[in-house]
Structure 1
Amino acid sequence: MNPFTFSRPGDIEAALAALADPGSVGARPVAGGTNLLDLMKEGVMRPGRLVDINALGLDRIEDAPDGGLRLGALARNADTAYDERVRSRYPLLSAAILAGASPQLRNMASNGGNLLQRTRCYYFYDLGTPCNKRTPGSGCPAREGLNRQLAILGTSEQCIATHPSDMCVALRALDAVVHVRSTSGERDIPFADFHRLPGDRPDLDSTLEPGELITHIDLPDAGRFAAHCAYIKVRDRLSYAFALVSVAAALDLDGGPGGTIRAARIALGGVAHKPWRVEAAEAALAGQPATEASFSAAADIVLHGARGYGQNDFKLALAHNTIIQALSAAARGAGQASGEQRGEPT
């Protein structure tokens, strides 16, 4: 591990000043450290300074005046998933969080850190191989190599990595807003704009600027989707595995299963460099019956332009089927993650 300095500021102003200090090259905030410290141990990330932000009081979950909910950036994933307001008003988010990692990691991982997870692409972690995400311009051997876990949507010549978070898939479906702060001020980032596609800068995972700190995540009122939602994660083993494909689905139904769809939300994980959502597919479902035929047509729209790279070709059919399964479960009022999670055999 390379040398670094460590500080533990007692308030947000001091933390922001530490992150913006020009003498601290590549300063990074650390909360639970469940991803950052692993990357440092492997030498993949080498920040010159760590700023412990756990004393900043950003760990509250609070009702918002507009009927939504505010999730503190330092609230732990487990506390968020089990919060009664999250469970009753945003069951899709609770289910997605509980589908991720392990209980021990969820107890440590923070909400803000979850948004900033880096890809689990083998080549990104292997310093003995090229990786455009780690070293821009060095190449992307995953395109022709070990790509079973990697993207089928939104890829570029530079990178086919996937974003690993389950929580972020639900947040994308729920139209969350990320609030950030720096020494220059504050700004709100719609969740659709927070993560980036790789393009020609795969080293940049998000639109967060240097020195900016996530303070909280706002959820708008989603009461109309609470009764009919489901998070389905398909993976190689039942726990502590990243998604081959995951789908967060929510429906506003006029009537029960088979009724007319008033509105829909569909977001995918495990298939792109960011949580993947195609609003045109949701619009196509509006006014349609909640049937497998409607769900299949929507899946075709979501996956338009998808392509495999050899080992991950199976994801094309898997994603289509998982979208149908998730929407069907949502129509039934499942409201929880499915136990049907085993992926294709290797």
Structure 2
Amino acid sequence: MKPFEYVRVNDLISAAGALDEKSEIIAGGTNLLDLMKLQVMAPDKVVDITRIPGLDKIEPKGEGLRIGTLVKNADLAADPRIRTGYPVLSRALLAGASGQIRNKATTGGNLLQRTRCPYFYDPEMACNKREPGAGCSAKGGVSRMLAILGTSEDCRAAHPSDMAVALRALNAMIEIRRKNGDTYQLAMDDFYRLPGDRPDIETNLKDGEIITAVILPRPVIGVQSYRKIRDRASYAFALVSVAAVATVEHGLIQNASVAFGGIGARPWADLDVNAFLNGKEPSAELFGEAADLLLTAAITDEGNAFKTTMTRRALIAVMSEVTGLREASVGSDRVGEIA
């Protein structure tokens, strides 16, 4: 591991002042420390924000909730307000990692975790995400865990977060503090960048900016579900995952919001798919057509072409659950008001 300066801060002003383009924030450290050991990431400075008060709270925000950036994944998944009003988020978190990691990983860190593309993790392999302009060894390589939507000629890496997929389905906002102390919010799709020709720049955070919270809107009364398909039952990243929220009124789908993991360069949602579902009568045929619409732009090769079929089946299954077309699985929950 490359030597680095360690700075512990006690307030957001000090944190912003300590950050520059060669520094990284550390909280739980469940991803950053692994990458530093492999020298995939080698910051000159690590800024510890865990002593900043107030960032580890889950609090009411209007009719929704404000989740501080230092809230542990385990605490978030277990919070009664999340389990009752946003069960898709709780399910995604519980599917995301081992209990030990959930006890350390934080909300902000989960949003900022790096891809698990094997070529990114191997410093001997060319990777534009790790070193811009180096090339992409994933092209023509082992592609089982790579994305099929939102990729570019320079990067095929998939976004790894389960939590972020659920947050995208819930239309969460990310609260960010500027270096001057002002705060603003970004929608998930505006926060994450597609790789294009600069896959090393993964978000629209600017120097000195810090994620302070995630803002959840008022929960939709209806059914929420999260389904994750992976190579083993625990502590594995998604091949395909689906988070869905929907209600059915007078036999027609309302408020459908679907997001996907394992297939996109960022937590993936397609507004055209949601619009296509809303106002229609639930059916397996309808959900299959929605999947076809979603996958129109998919780019696959021999190693990950299976993801199109897997995504289609998963979307049909999850939407069948949340619309009552099929009996709900253990991963689906009916939602009422926030407890």
- TM-score band by shorter chain is over 0.9
What does residue 327 of structure 1 align with? Answer: 319
Tell whether the 8 Å contact from 2:7 to 2:46 is kept in structure 1 after alignment: yes
1:44, 1:98 → 2: CA distance? 27
What does residue 202 of structure 2 align with? Answer: 205
What does residue 264 of structure 1 align with? Answer: 256
**1:306 counterpart = 2:298:** yes
Of the three residues 108, 111, 121, the one matched with 2:107 is 111
What does residue 344 of structure 1 align with? Answer: none
2:22, 2:315 → 1: CA distance? 39
Q: How many residues align?
A: 328
- What's the offset of the Cα at 1:182? 2.8
What does residue 48 of structure 2 align with? Answer: 52
1:138, 1:183 → 2: CA distance? 32
- What's the offset of the Cα at 1:128? 0.7
What does residue 12 of structure 2 align with? Answer: 12
Gaps of 5+ in 2: 333-339
**1:243 counterpart = 2:205:** no
- What's the offset of the Cα at 1:320? 0.9
**1:193 counterpart = 2:187:** no
Tell whether the 8 Å contact from 2:247 to 2:322 is kept in structure 1 after alignment: no
1:232, 1:108 → 2: CA distance? 24
What does residue 279 of structure 1 align with? Answer: 271
2:311, 2:282 → 1: CA distance? 19
- Superposed, which structure 2 residues align to 1:115-126 within 5 Å? 115-126=111-122
| Residue type at the aligned position of 1:54 | T
Tell whether the 8 Å contact from 1:91 to 1:335 is kept in structure 2 after alignment: no
What RMSD, in angstroms, separates the aligned Cα atoms of the two structures? 1.4
What does residue 139 of structure 2 align with? Answer: 143
What does residue 162 of structure 1 align with? Answer: 158
Q: Deviations over 1:215-256 (max 9, x none)?
A: 0010111232xx31110000000110000000001111115x
| Residue type at the aligned position of 2:279 | G
**1:181 counterpart = 2:182:** no
Question: What is the DSSP-based 3-state SS (H/G/I as helix, E as strand, rest coil) of the residue aligned with 1:87?
Answer: helix
Tell whether the 8 Å contact from 2:154 to 2:199 is kept in structure 1 after alignment: yes
User: If the length of structure 2 is used for normalisation, what is the TM-score?
Assistant: 0.94
2:179, 2:48 → 1: CA distance? 17
Q: Deviations over 1:130-162 (max 9, x none)?
A: 001111111112110111110111111000000
Tell whether the 8 Å contact from 1:91 to 1:336 is kept in structure 2 after alignment: no
| Residue type at the aligned position of 2:67 | L
| Bigger shift: residues 8-17 or 169-178 | 8-17
2:132, 2:158 → 1: CA distance? 17
Change (3 A) 1:217 1:336: farther
| Bigger shift: residues 7-16 or 126-135 | 7-16
What does residue 310 of structure 2 align with? Answer: 318
1:115, 1:319 → 2: CA distance? 23
* Percent of aligned pairs with the same amino acid: 49
Of the three residues 210, 215, 224, the one matched with 2:212 is 215
Tell whether the 8 Å contact from 2:253 to 2:323 is kept in structure 1 after alignment: no
| Residue type at the aligned position of 1:5 | E
- What's the offset of the Cα at 1:211? 1.5
What does residue 3 of structure 2 align with? Answer: 3
| Residue type at the aligned position of 1:288 | K
- What's the offset of the Cα at 1:17? 1.0
1:274, 1:63 → 2: CA distance? 28
- Superposed, which structure 2 residues align to 1:78-93 within 5 Å? 78-93=74-89
Of the three residues 66, 72, 77, the one matched with 1:76 is 72
What does residue 229 of structure 1 align with? Answer: 224
What does residue 60 of structure 2 align with? Answer: 63
Tell whether the 8 Å contact from 2:159 to 2:262 is kept in structure 1 after alignment: yes
| Residue type at the aligned position of 1:168 | A
1:142, 1:298 → 2: CA distance? 29
- What's the offset of the Cα at 1:331? 2.1
- What's the offset of the Cα at 1:335? 7.7
1:72, 1:285 → 2: CA distance? 33
What does residue 342 of structure 1 align with? Answer: none
Of the three residues 8, 11, 29, the one matched with 1:33 is 29
2:73, 2:328 → 1: CA distance? 22
- What's the offset of the Cα at 1:337? 2.9
2:329, 2:266 → 1: CA distance? 23
